[in-house]
Amino acid sequence: MKTSDLFVRALENEGVKYIFGIPGEENLDLLQSLKNSSIELILTRHEQAAGFMAATYGRLTGTPGVCMSTLGPGATNLVTAAAYAQLGGMPMIMITGQKPIMKSKQGLFQILDIVEMMQPLTKFSKQVVHGHTVTAIIREAFRLAIEERSGAIHIELPEDIAREDSDAIIYHKTAYRIPVADNDAIDAAVAKIEKAEHPLILLGAGANRRTTKAAINALIEKTGIPFFTTQLGKGLIDERSTLCLGTAALSVNDCVHTAIEAADLIINIGHDIVEKPPFFMDRDGVEVVAFNFLSANVDEVYFPQVDVVGDISKSIMHLSKHLEKQPHWDFSYILDIKKKLDATFDDEADDDSFPVLPPHLVRIVREVMPSDGIISLDNGLYKIWFSRNYKAHLFNTILLDNSLATMGAGLPAAIASKIVYPDRRVMAICGDGGFMMNSQELETAVRLKLDLIVLILNDSAYGMIKWKQEQMGFEDYGLDFKNPDFVQYAKSYGAGGHRIKETSELEPLIRECVEAPGVHVIEVPVDYTGTHELLNRCKI
Ligand SMILES: Cc1ncc(C[n+]2csc(CCOP(=O)(O)OP(=O)(O)O)c2C)c(N)n1
Ligand SMILES: [Mg+2]
């Protein structure tokens, strides 16, 4: 069989349904093989966006998302997406083309060493040099992509190899099972937690897996221990819970930290140091029992006393079985802060002045989105507000990137979410800066006939950096820009274009767009001037 046909058969065998990307002439054999397969090509307008979509597919489904590009410039365009998947722990496979490797008359035209370039950004980067090895390389790629920590993989398929005949066999998939933690480690964790007076649970990026939810819910229900999350831990457990304190590591003096400081032990489930530290350890301070798939990274502010390594859900099930609720546990101060925090968030959200203030915006989006609706955030100042004030009800319903924290992924991630969940409401929430970094994907969304809402928060600036500039005492300089007319811009793609002129228009307009078919872009003028006061001065 032709190697490109076998390549695609092997992808089908792995359960691949979509390939996101832009083919070049070096991929034309592969493209032909795809045409004759069950896999759908999702053609995008930039390879970076294709990579973000593939990574998001992996994040949502737990199976690798696949993207493709040509050699040279197509492959270099995948770099940011590779970093996004790799740091974010999202299983993703990139397939790039290459000129013939056995005989070539092209000199170095468009040729870069892409395999080498992808090395530091991936778990595995390999060129296929013979048709006989292609299926083993694909099996290896899929195995490594999902193994914890999941991440990015790169395969280069040169033109002449794609055209060769091969009689390689297709390897069957094997189930991925993670080893279970040692009993002694669980016993040590139980002893520490039972002895503590004010234990708190932290849910981090690694806890945020479909498989861990039931075990963690059961632990919280049995013990009544309050919990908080990192940005990437949001949504695993319903944040409306009376035991949920909110999200940490947003800004230095944010109120949630007041509650965290009252704890004497943190039960740290799945924190991954790709996120900012959600709390700091020092010599005589809070102690930590860590649960994760891998052993804890140690640094100056993080050195857990007990490290439980193994499948998180099994470890937590095991812990719940042995851990008994202790009469000396005291959460009164922590839960008192939680009540005050909720009241503060409510007060902040009441202010409906115009341009729209972030807490009010978050309230409206939360009220309008159904529990299983997905919001996909780009990177900007509003991300802090949504992390802090948006209560996620279900797993993976708030998609944000708190590892690479790149701009430009909000819209592509929303498109991928809608492809994975066609029956759920999906909204991209972008700054005017981040939106413009991949706004061309509006065409992809319209062409795919997706129902999607895109909120663009207009402050005519790179607001997040402006805020930091002000916080650091610098003068206002170099961060303002002018925007296109977003309403006309959206309409030119065949999408709906809307702009609100007063805050009272926002809720009815979003509701209308949520119900309407097609892509709808809503421009929302925002006012960030009060951000410093609200985020950095905890008055509780
Ligand atoms: C690709 C990329 N470039 C630069 C940055 C640094 N950065 C972080 S937030 C930000 C500004 C975002 O502006 P905008 O999208 O308009 O959102 P706003 O903060 O104004 O709401 C910048 C430049 C980044 N995170 N990613
Ligand atoms: Mg902006």
Q: CA 476 → CA 349, 355, 461, 534, distances in Å?
A: 27, 20, 11, 20
Q: What type of residue sits at position 299?
A: D
pLDDT computed for residue 132 by the predictor = 94
Integer Cα distance of 134 and 138 in angstroms: 6
Question: For atom 25 of ligand 1, which residue has the closest CA?
Answer: 406
Neighbours of 275 (CB within 10 A): 19
Among the listed residues 258, 142, 271, the one whose alpha carbon sits nearest the alpha carbon of residue 539: 258
Compute the half-sphere exposure of residue 96: CA atoms within 13 Å on the CB side of its CA: 32
Residue-by-residue pLDDT tens, the chain, 540 positions = 999 999 999 999 999 999 999 999 999 999 999 999 999 999 999 999 999 999 999 999 999 999 999 999 999 999 999 999 999 999 999 999 999 998 877 778 888 999 999 999 999 999 999 999 999 999 999 999 999 999 999 999 999 999 999 999 999 998 888 999 999 999 999 999 999 999 999 999 888 888 899 999 999 999 999 999 999 999 999 999 999 999 986 766 677 888 888 899 999 999 888 888 888 888 889 999 999 999 998 988 899 999 999 999 999 999 999 999 999 999 999 999 899 889 988 999 999 999 999 999 999 999 999 999 999 999 999 999 999 999 999 999 999 999 999 999 999 999 999 999 999 999 999 999 999 999 999 999 999 999 999 999 999 999 999 999 998 999 999 999 999 999 999 999 999 999 999 999 999 999 999 999 999 999 999 999 877 666 766 666
Integer Cα distance of 94 and 118 in angstroms: 10
pLDDT computed for residue 176 by the predictor = 87
- Which atom of ligand 1 lies nearest, measured to the CA of 432? 16
Reported as type and span, the H/E element at residue 361 is helix 358-368
Question: For atom 16 of ligand 1, which residue has the closest CA?
Answer: 433
Which pair of structure tokens corresponds to residue 87? 């740091």
What residues pack around ion ligand 2 (CB closer than 5 A)?
431-433, 459, 463
Write down the residue that tokens 């979003």 correspond to: 510
Question: In testing the pocket of ligand 1, which one of 52, 84, 87, 379 has its CB within 8 Å of the most ligand atoms?
Answer: 379
Q: Is 432 in the pocket of ligand 1 (CB under 6 A)?
A: yes
Report DSSP state, residue 397.
S
Apex CA 60: angle with CA 23 and CA 398, to 5°?
115
Q: Is 60 in the pocket of ligand 1 (CB under 6 A)?
A: no
Report DSSP state, residue 172.
P
Write down the residue that tokens 């989105």 correspond to: 369
Is 108 in a helix, a strand, or coil? coil
Neighbours of 85 (CB within 10 A): 35
Is 439 in a helix, a strand, or coil? coil
Q: Is 525 in the pocket of ligand 1 (CB under 6 A)?
A: no
Which pair of structure tokens corresponds to residue 450? 């997706």
- Which atom of ligand 1 lies nearest, measured to the CA of 467? 19
pLDDT computed for residue 500 by the predictor = 97
CA of 435 to the centre of ligand 1 (A): 10
Question: Is the whole model's pTM more than 0.95, yes or no?
Answer: yes
